[in-house]
């Protein structure tokens, strides 16, 4: 009996749905059990790094956490140990290769192995291009690109020897779609995306899974420690609103759960938030249109003048007004939860 066109389409759709379901089932059956795994997370004393450390701790993983400042690192260590996790906390500036190599050596000496590396350390500088200096670009590249490279290359011989492991690279939607007033950040994250995707193509045959994470905006509370230039109070308001509003930013705990799940499954790419997925797809199809649209957005962002002090940067805590603080109230709660106010 000859089937109609509609029946054929239904049959094809059912077959594809079954295949996708079986593929997902196979992934879950082969998902990595995190209990006892040693997870090294850079930039893990505050923000998203701390949220991921908490989630890995819930999964019974052993943790290596690092950050540049000792006080928030010690606070994070105490919290994670109170959750029952075995934790090695070490101060490390990932922009310094020798410090990264020391950290990896300490981790291997302490635990005897490293199973998962999460390259998360980051910095954000917000402001128009005319306020940015060469140092701003260098600092972003040093931490978010070279820090990722240094850490990966330091751990890679160990992973290669064992022919297994996970490398999880936290990049950003800014590495795919270049939003205005974030140019140094965008450049570093774009380099990080390229490095991460290239790693996957090189290492997959060796049993090492590389997961490229592309988050959209997340309520981590990091806006209070981001740096601002130009009209700093105005820059704080627009960036802080975007990074804290429930309409634009995902809860950081949910984001961490998604990242840990992607790590277990060894996903090639994980884009977090529907808006980030739409932005990457639209930019992929219509890159010129996206760039033109964002140039219009840039016209509505705070402007600055040529005064020398416009190039001076200050943290969000130093830049905000009382109105700005009230407008980002949800972000304040996230900042307190994720220890953004603990500093040496």
- What is the edge-to-edge ordering of all strands in the sheet holding 208-215? 87-91, 62-67, 38-41, 116-119, 165-170, 208-215, 269-272
Strand bridging mode 227-228 / 218-219: unpaired
DSSP assigned state of 133: -
Strand bridging mode 227-228 / 314-315: antiparallel
Q: Are 144 and 192 in contact (CB under 8 A)?
A: yes
3 state SS for 101-119: HHHHHHHHHHHCCCCEEEE
Catalytic status, residue 228: no
CA 276 → CA 172, 218, 282, distances in Å?
A: 9, 11, 10
Rounded Cα–Cα distance for residues 86 and 58 (Å): 11
Residue of 185, 228, 236, 341 marked active site: 185
Active site residues: 185
């Amino acid at each position: 009996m000859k089937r109609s066109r509609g029946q054929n389409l239904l049959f094809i759709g059912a077959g594809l749905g079954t295949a996708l379901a079986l593929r997902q089932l196979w992934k879950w059956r082969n998902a990595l059990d995190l209990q006892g795994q040693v997870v090294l997370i850079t930039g893990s004393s505050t923000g998203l790094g701390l949220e991921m450390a908490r989630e890995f701790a819930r999964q019974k993983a052993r943790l290596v956490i690092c950050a540049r400042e000792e006080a928030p690192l010690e606070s994070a260590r105490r919290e994670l140990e109170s959750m029952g996790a075995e934790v090695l906390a070490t101060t490390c500036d990932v922009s310094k290769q020798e410090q990264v190599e020391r950290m990896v050596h300490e981790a291997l000496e302490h635990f005897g192995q490293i199973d998962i590396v999460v390259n998360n350390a980051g910095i954000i500088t917000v402001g128009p291009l005319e306020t940015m200096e060469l140092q701003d670009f260098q600092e972003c590249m040093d931490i978010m690109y070279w820090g990722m490279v240094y850490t990966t290359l330091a751990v890679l011989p160990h992973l290669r020897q064992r022919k297994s492991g996970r490398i999880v690279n936290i990049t950003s939607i800014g590495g795919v779609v270049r939003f205005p007033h974030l140019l140094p950040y965008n450049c570093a994250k774009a380099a990080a995306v390229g490095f991460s995707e290239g790693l996957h193509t090189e290492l997959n045959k060796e049993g090492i899974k590389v997961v490229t994470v592309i988050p959209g905006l997340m309520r981590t509370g990091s806006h209070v420690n981001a740096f601002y230039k130009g009209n700093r109070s105005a820059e704080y308001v627009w960036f802080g609103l975007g990074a804290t509003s429930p309409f634009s930013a995902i809860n950081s705990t949910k984001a961490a759960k998604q990242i840990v799940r992607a790590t277990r499954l060894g996903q090639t790419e994980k884009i977090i938030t529907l808006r980030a997925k739409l932005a990457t797809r639209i930019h992929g199809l219509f890159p010129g249109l996206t760039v033109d649209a964002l140039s219009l957005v840039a016209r509505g962002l705070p402007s600055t003048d040529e005064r020398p002090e416009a190039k001076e940067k200050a943290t969000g805590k130093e830049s905000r007004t009382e109105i700005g603080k009230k407008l980002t109230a949800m972000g304040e709660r996230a900042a307190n939860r994720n220890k953004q106010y603990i500093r040496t």
